[in-house]
Amino acid sequence: MKPPTILSLLLAIIIISCNQSPQKPNINDSGWTEQKLKIRSAQHMDTTLWDTDLFNQDLTTYIKHKEIFQSFPLNKSPFPVATYDYAVGSIPFSITVDSTVFKGIHIGEYANFESDDLNIKLTLLIQADGKFIDENTLVESRNYPYLTAQGTFNFTNNHYDWIFTSNPDGCSTLLLNMKRFGETIIIYPQDDLSFYYDQIEDSVNLYDNKEEYQSKLISIIKRLPAKHSL
């Protein structure tokens, strides 16, 4: 086997149980049942429960930044939702393996709007060399209690679209260029614009802090077997 012919892309998808109550997110109490999810879905159809201020805000923001929203894999056009209380976000970070820099983001939910502790649902890392241009990320709370996010990785010769969703039952899914993933994934882009991948059984849940987890990622990168070419 021989190493990838172009830069290696590492995608670490970390699935953590979604812990939140029907009234507001609470990482210590799940509380969501199939019946409660059906009720929540019905609330979105009830116009008397719509958050009209939020909807009007989304309309204004979309008109102002339409080109940005349309640049993502899924266009984020406005839609009304029932009132909710759910804080989500992303945190950028980077790690260095020998002389190679990997840039990435953590995506997740907060216990409340005052919290600074992100309950991580997804970690994305990308090897940043001369062919990497940038990445764009959009984390969305409008599908509460489902966490949704999407983004792009842009290179000089190719780009990768991804869409992620985390469900209240703890099931998470990532679609990358129409490939479905879960857990920890290593993506190897090829010169012919295809990609190979490895799946690794690992989770951020297993570590006491982010530093230990990042050290684990570095060790994974160093020991991964080279992917063969067609």
93 contacts: CB under 8 Å, gap ≥ 6: 104, 105, 106, 210, 214
Q: Is the pLDDT of residue 60 over 80?
A: yes
Tell me which residue of 78, 52, 54 sits closest to 65, measured CA to CA. 78
**How many whole angstroms separate alpha carbon 11 and alpha carbon 17?**
19
∠ CA(57), CA(55), CA(173), 5° rounding?
A: 105
∠ CA(223), CA(177), CA(197), 5° rounding?
A: 20
pLDDT value of residue 196: 61
pLDDT value of residue 61: 95
Tell me which residue of 229, 217, 227 sits closest to 187, measured CA to CA. 227
Domain assignment present for residue 172? The answer is yes
pLDDT value of residue 116: 86
pLDDT single digits (tens) 70-114: 999 999 989 999 999 999 999 988 888 888 778 788 899 998 888
Q: Residue 183 corresponds to which tokens in the numbers above? A: 């857990």
pLDDT value of residue 13: 40
Q: Is the pLDDT of residue 9 over 60?
A: no
pLDDT, greater one: 105 or 24: 105
pLDDT, greater one: 19 or 152: 152
Assessment of whether the complete model's pTM goes beyond 0.75: no
- Cα distance from N-terminal residue to C-terminal residue, the chain: 10
Domain assignment present for residue 168? The answer is yes
- In a 3-state reduction of DSSP, which class is residue 65? coil
Domain assignment present for residue 228? The answer is no
pLDDT value of residue 229: 42
Q: Give me the sign of the Cα torsion angle 80, 51, 29, 109.
A: positive
**How many whole angstroms separate alpha carbon 164 and alpha carbon 162?**
7
Domain assignment present for residue 59? The answer is yes
Instruction: Tell me the longest C-alpha to C-alpha distance in the chain.
Output: 62
Domain assignment present for residue 173? The answer is yes
Domain assignment present for residue 230? The answer is no
pLDDT value of residue 165: 92
Domain assignment present for residue 179? The answer is yes
Residue 48 domain boundaries: 9-223
Say how many C-beta atoms besides its own lie within 10 A of residue 159's C-beta: 13
pLDDT single digits (tens) 176-215: 777 766 545 666 666 666 666 655 566 666 777 778 877 8
Say how many C-beta atoms besides its own lie within 10 A of residue 85's C-beta: 12
Domain count, the chain: 1
Domain assignment present for residue 2? The answer is no
Do the beta carbons of residue 200 and residue 183 sit within 8 Å? yes
